[in-house]
């Protein structure tokens, strides 16, 4: 019996939650600061003399709230992180092998008149938890487990939610047929498209490495363009998480079979350890020790 079948067998067809929202497997129903951008050192807040800058480059190093970025023209720039945690993003592709039960995921869906998704989910985002106190307004909905309509439901509307929604929860299982997650206290399952995209999207630097591509938008105090207060920072990489690492190029063709087996065992152990550490950064629970 598959994990999804076990989940379906062990849960009632529908469960009620606060507010009357019920989620059926494969079906969603409704039942009857101001910004104080500071400069470096003791500089005052940015004023009318500040200039807007936008550039691309690559990450050189990071320490605390300061990133060193090499611009495309070769100039190194010190960049202070944005005031809003949601404006610092690291994105990368992932494969199903990278996923672990309990990881936080979210996806967008468009619900029809009966509350069911109108099409299979085409993209899953894996993300790390964020302190809700650092978020404003409806930003919190992207990090809090649940089913969040893009438009708040009208008062007195007892019908099923329709239109765009964001579903947030902890991963239970992913199969070629669909994804199962727990959105708060409610299990949810829906179909996924054959070309499902998995994207890591975190608001910290835990997975960033020197050489990763960076795009910055922010402000500087003329004439010094090498010290920037960021309004937004986007970091991307060509690494694919969950991808099998290439064989060790150092291995000699004349190596004995026993040495090759030993090297492969070490590589496999290192890869497992790396995946475990990466999983922790995305909120996957640690395995209980026996």
CB atoms within 10 A of CB 179: 24
Residue 41 within any structural domain of the chain = no
The total domain count for the chain is 1
- Could you list the residue range(s) of the whole structural domain that residue 91 is in? 1-32+49-243
Q: Does the pLDDT at position 246 exceed 60?
A: yes
| SS3 annotation, 48-93 | CCCEEEEEEEEEEEEECCEEEEEECCCCEEEEECCCCHHHEEEEEE
The model's pTM is 0.70
Residue 94 within any structural domain of the chain = yes
The answer to whether 135 and 143 are in contact (CB under 8 A) is yes
Q: Which pair of structure tokens corresponds to residue 30?
A: 């409704």
The answer to whether 115 and 163 are in contact (CB under 8 A) is no
pLDDT of residue 37: 40
Q: How far apart are CA 134 and CA 143, in angstroms?
A: 11
Residue 105 within any structural domain of the chain = yes
Residue 40 within any structural domain of the chain = no
Q: Is the dihedral of CA 46, 39, 134, 54 positive or negative?
A: positive
Residue 252 within any structural domain of the chain = no
> Over the stretch 29-67, which tens digit does the pLDDT of each residue have?
333 333 334 445 444 455 667 999 999 999 999 999 999
> Over the stretch 85-126, which tens digit does the pLDDT of each residue have?
999 999 999 999 999 999 999 999 998 887 778 899 999 999
Q: Does the pLDDT at position 275 exceed 80?
A: no
Only one residue has tokens 């998995």, namely 198
Residue 248 within any structural domain of the chain = no
Residue 265 within any structural domain of the chain = no
Report which of 58, 55, 203, 32 is spatially closest to residue 132, judged by C-alpha positions.
203
Q: Which pair of structure tokens corresponds to residue 25?
A: 């497997």
> Over the stretch 213-236, which tens digit does the pLDDT of each residue have?
999 999 999 999 999 999 999 999
């Amino acid at each position: 019996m598959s994990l999804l079948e076990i989940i379906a067998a062990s849960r009632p067809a529908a469960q009620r939650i606060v507010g009357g929202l019920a989620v059926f497997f494969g079906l969603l129903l409704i039942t009857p600061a101001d910004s104080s951008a500071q400069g470096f050192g003791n500089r005052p807040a940015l004023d009318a003399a500040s200039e807007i800058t936008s550039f691309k480059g690559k990450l050189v190093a990071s320490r605390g709230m300061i990133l060193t970025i090499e611009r495309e023209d070769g100039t190194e720039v010190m960049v202070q992180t944005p005031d809003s945690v949601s404006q610092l993003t690291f994105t990368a592709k992932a494969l199903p092998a990278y996923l672990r039960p309990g990881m936080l995921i979210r996806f967008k869906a468009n619900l029809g008149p009966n509350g069911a998704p109108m099409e299979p989910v085409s993209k899953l985002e894996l993300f790390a938890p964020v302190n809700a106190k650092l978020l404003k307004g409806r930003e919190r909905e992207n990090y809090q487990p649940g089913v969040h309509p893009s438009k708040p439901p009208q008062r007195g509307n007892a019908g099923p939610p329709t239109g765009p929604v964001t579903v947030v929860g902890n991963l239970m299982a992913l199969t070629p047929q669909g994804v199962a997650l727990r959105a708060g206290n409610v299990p949810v399952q829906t179909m996924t498209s054959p070309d499902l995209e998995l994207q890591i999207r975190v608001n910290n630097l835990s997975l960033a490495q020197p050489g990763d591509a960076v795009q910055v938008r922010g402000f500087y105090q003329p004439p010094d363009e090498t010290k920037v207060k960021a309004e937004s920072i986007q970091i991307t990489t060509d690494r694919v998480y969950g991808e099998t690492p290439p064989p060790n190029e150092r291995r000699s063709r004349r190596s004995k079979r026993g040495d090759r087996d030993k090297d492969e065992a070490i590589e496999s152990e290192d890869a497992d350890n790396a995946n475990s550490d990466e999983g922790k950064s995305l909120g996957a629970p640690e395995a209980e020790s026996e």
